[in-house]
Amino acid sequence: MNKQRHEDYLNHMIQAIDDALSYIDGLELADFLEDKRTQQACIMNVLIIGEAATKLMNEYPNFVTQHPQIEWRSMRGMRNRIAHGYFDINLEVVWETLQTALPDLQAKIQAIQNQ
Whether residue 67 lies in the annotated active site? no
Please tell me the distance from the alpha carbon of residue 89 to that of residue 108, in angstroms, as a whole number: 26
End-to-end CA distance of the chain: 17
Provide Rg for the chain, Cα atoms: 14
Of the candidates 5, 73, 79, 81, the residue annotated as catalytic is 79
Q: Please say whether the beta carbons of 67 and 112 come within 8 A.
A: yes
Of the candidates 12, 37, 73, 84, the residue annotated as catalytic is 84
Whether residue 5 lies in the annotated active site? no
Q: Please say whether the beta carbons of 75 and 102 come within 8 A.
A: no
Active-site annotation, residues? 79, 84
